[in-house]
Every structure is written in structure tokens, then in C-alpha cells.
Structure 1
Amino acid sequence: MRTALTAAALAALAAVVNLSGCASGAPAADALSGADVVLLGERHDDAGHQRHHRDIVQSLAARGRLAALAIEMAEQGRSTAGLPRNAEEGEVRAALNWNEDAWPWRAYGPAVMAAVTAGVPVLGANLPRDRMREAMGDASLDDTLDATTLAAQREAIRTGHCDLLPQQQLAPMTRVQIARDRAMAQTLVRAAVPGRSVLLVAGAGHVSPDLGVPRHLPPALAVKPLVLPPSGPAGASAPDYCAELRERMQRR
């Protein structure tokens, strides 16, 4: 399950560290020094973002500073930890139970394989699909955020889905978002290694310090959230996500 983000919602997520000038991973790796957890927020259809994933993985791994690569694109509990460095792509995809319909391998495979080749485990971090319905009805998830943040998260869900969700679905969908953020945070905590960084690749909304994964991480961890800037030419018009989402919902 992906979370749609409008251009306005993406613009509201300012990058803590701007990586737009990093042609290679080296400058980014230096900027990430000292972080226990690095949260890399992307726009899922931006190919330039996915090239950054690979570069940053390679750079951190080359410096011996990458403890694990955690990804939204595979479910919590899936891992490549038992695979050798020379594992084939098919073996890696099987270990992660890769869902090609949701996440095209051509986009994310290079970063995943860069980690595997470096001997770095790749960890599924997303909430398993079979737990999403349970999360929708779990009102206790509302209590994991203060009232102001919960309202802001619901507003982000509403605007991110272009006002196309029925009102009664906002609370359940917000709970799923919270549960996904918590699952990712749990994965990061378990993978943390002193002196090295765990890198999470996820949608921009998940790395928001105000609403996302950072809200569910312990304060003892040094966390660096990054939102990748658009990689297209300056002034290029953004895709009309709302029109695309409206069309998909009509087809359903």
C-alpha cells in the first residue's frame, strides 16, 4: 500500500539535508556522519531518487558505516540476512517476497543489490498487509500521537488522497499510516548498531519528523531525516497526482 502525496504535501516536507547537489554518494555519506538512523524520503515515481538510494548505499557501505538497509517496499520480517554476497536477483526477490505490481524492481533493485553485494542485510520494514485491517480498527493507535499531531496526520491523509476518501475512512486510514510508521521504527530499532547507520528508504510522508517514523523512535537514537528534492529540471511541472488517483478510484 502506498500513500499518495500531492505536490503541496510534498512541498511542506522540507529536506533537513539537501542532497540535490550530490552527483555521487560521497558527499551524502559525509553529511550523515554520526547518525544511528538515516531516513531517506522519496517520491516513488522519481527515478532520480532511486539512483540516490543506490549511491548512498554504496558510499556508506564502502566506508563500513552501513549497518542495514530497511525498505518500505518489503514487509516487516522479510530479510536477505541469510543470503551470500553473490546472491542472484531472483534469490533476493524471493527472500524479500518482492511485490512487483506495487514496487517495480527496476527502480529499487539497484540499491537492494548494492547492499547485498556489500554484505549488508536488507530488511523489510513495512506493516504486513494481513495486519492492515486489524490496524484500521485499532483505536489505541490514535493514542500514540498527541491530539494536534493526530489531527495533522488525518489532514495529511485527506489532502494526500486529494479529498477523494469518504469521511468515515479517514480515521481507519490514518491508523494504518501510524501502524506502518511504527513497524518501520521497530525495524530500525532492532537493526541499530553503535557506530554505524541504519538506512530507511520510504515515501516522503513516512520520514516527516512531525508526523512519521521519527515520532516512534526512542530519543536515544541519533536520527537524520532527509527528503529528496525533485530530480527533474527546474520549473518542470509536477504530475497531476490527483487526476491519476481519481482515475484509479473510478476504475475500481
Structure 2
Amino acid sequence: MRQFIIGLMALASTAAADGYSGADVIFLGEVHDNPAHHARQAQIVAEVQPKAVVWEMLGPETAARVTSDLIGDSTDLSAALDWATSGWPDFAMYYPIFAAAPEAAHYGAQVPRAEARAVMGQSVAEVFGAGAAQFGLDAPLSAGQQEQREALQMAAHCDALPEDMLGMMVDIQRLRDAELAASALTALKETGGPVVVITGNGHARKDWGAPHLFSLAAPGRAVFALGQAEDGRAPPEGGFDLIESAPPVDRGDPCDAFRKN
């Protein structure tokens, strides 16, 4: 374990050079199935040694199962998290992030499916519950941002979504952003930070994603956001503090399945 962490730290660039030195909360974006993105996240976690890690991929109860003893064994940790049935990519890509800071506390920010579906009949503020206003959920988006976000949802779903579903999909995204921000704030208050958040690029964007909502709730706290791109492909948008690129994953055309139906 010690050699593993030392190796990661030797590969990592300095925090001062990359700009996240002194940040209270560091959002590390990813393309979920790109192993190079997870390797970079593990490098940064090894360097920063955060007091807490917040996971988009885990719910609160699942994250609470993580212990320093389990972190020492990838197989046992994966089983404890029931990762094989979670729907997320291979645990081998995520395990080095856990191993890079074995003493960190872990927080889960995953939105349960039932909660996400609840936006069909309730406002996003009602679904989130207490504290919704703290994260801006009590106010509608501007017309321009709503339109832009609906267009992104349509593109992400291969132009196959019914138009009347787009507003709901944007609300679900807002809900997930708010859960990540709230979990990061809780982690910071309980551990003193720094806190690292592991999430997709879409949630890590500073203009309207989880970093923005965190800053609404905790103005004055230093926030850093990394976006991770793939070579030869458009970089993620959203006002990241730093965008890095890594070799792409050959995943074919994800829209082929829609074209065949």
C-alpha cells in the first residue's frame, strides 16, 4: 500500500502548479469509463490526502461501509459496496482512488432512482427537501440556461428523448448537483477538509454544476474543479479551473443502439 501511494505521488504534478493547493473542496471530473481519468484522480488524491472523499457513485449508507481495513483489499471492498450490481464501470478503475487516501472518510451523494423519478410529480426543491434554497433549487433557471441544458440532455440521449421529458431530465441533473454539493459541505464541516469529490464532468462544471451550488451555500470557501477530456474530442465546457486530456476509450458509437430501434 505504501509503495503504491508513493508511486502515485511521484507521478502527480504539484498541487501548487495545477492550482488546487489550498482548496477546501476539489471536484475531480471524469468520463466514467476512461481508466486514465481515474488514474489521474488517484494521483491527485494521493497528493492532497483529503480528509474526506465524496462519491457520485455511492449512496450514503453504502459509503458508510468503507473502512481502512476494507480499503486494503480490492475484492473485499468491491463486495462490501456491492459494486458489481451498481451499474458503474469496472471497480478496478476506481479502487486506486480509495487506496490513495486510506484514512479519508467517505461520503455518498448518489441520488436514488425513486428520488430522481419523484421530480415527475414534484418540484426539484420539494424532492430535495430542507435546504433546497441554500443550493438555489427554489428558483427557476434562466430561460437561456434552461434551453442550453435541455439541448445538452437531448444530445446526451442521442436525440431520442421526447421533448416533454427534457425539463424533467434537467431537474434530475440539478438534484444530483445539489446532492453532491450538500455532501461536500457536510464532509467539509465534519472533517475540516480538504474534501475531494469524484464525479462526472457534467456535475463538476463550475458555471452551474455542483461547484457552483456549493459556492452558493458556502461563499468564501475555496473551490477547484478539474475537467477531463479525451484526446481528439471536444473538451468539457463549464468554466473549469483546469482541463486535462488523456487517451480516448474506444467505445464505438453509443447512439447505434438507438438507430437500430
From 191, 210, 213, give the equivalent of 1:213.
Answer: 210
Instruction: Work out whether 1:38 is the aligned partner of 2:34.
Output: no
Question: Which secondary structure does the structure 1 equivalent of 2:109 belong to?
Answer: strand
Q: Give, in angstroms, the shift of residue 143 of structure 1.
A: 4.3
From 34, 39, 42, give the equivalent of 1:51.
Answer: 39
1:105 aligned partner: 91
Q: Contact 1:50–1:111 (CA<8 Å) still a contact in 2?
A: yes
Question: Which secondary structure does the structure 2 equivalent of 1:156 belong to?
Answer: helix
2:178 aligned partner: 182
CA-to-aligned-CA distance 1:175-211 (integer Å, 9 cap, x gap): 1111111111110000015863211111111111122
1:223 aligned partner: 223
Q: 1:105 to 1:92 in 2, by over 3 A?
A: same
Q: Contact 1:149–1:211 (CA<8 Å) still a contact in 2?
A: no
2:236 aligned partner: none
From 195, 199, 209, give the equivalent of 1:198.
Answer: 195
2:57 aligned partner: 73
Q: Contact 1:138–1:175 (CA<8 Å) still a contact in 2?
A: no
Structure 1, gaps ≥5 residues long: 1-21
Q: 1:84 to 1:107 in 2, by over 3 A?
A: closer
Q: Give, in angstroms, the shift of residue 152 of structure 1.
A: 2.5
Moved more, 80-89 or 67-76: 80-89
Q: Give, in angstroms, the shift of residue 23 of structure 1.
A: 7.8
Q: 1:27 to 1:136 in 2, by over 3 A?
A: farther
2:161 aligned partner: 165
Higher relative contact order (CA 8 A, sep 6+): 1
CA-to-aligned-CA distance 1:12-55 (integer Å, 9 cap, x gap): xxxxxxxxxx9822424653112111111111122211110111
1:152 aligned partner: 148
Amino acid at match of 1:27: T
Normalised TM-score (structure 1): 0.75
Q: Give, in angstroms, the shift of residue 125 of structure 1.
A: 1.6
Matched pairs, number: 223
Q: 1:137 to 1:215 in 2, by over 3 A?
A: farther
* Separation (CA, whole Å) in 2 of partners of 1:238 and 1:125: 26
1:25 aligned partner: 12
Structure 2, gaps ≥5 residues long: 1-8, 126-136, 234-244
Q: Contact 1:68–1:191 (CA<8 Å) still a contact in 2?
A: yes
Taking only the aligned residue pairs, the percentage that are identical comes to: 27
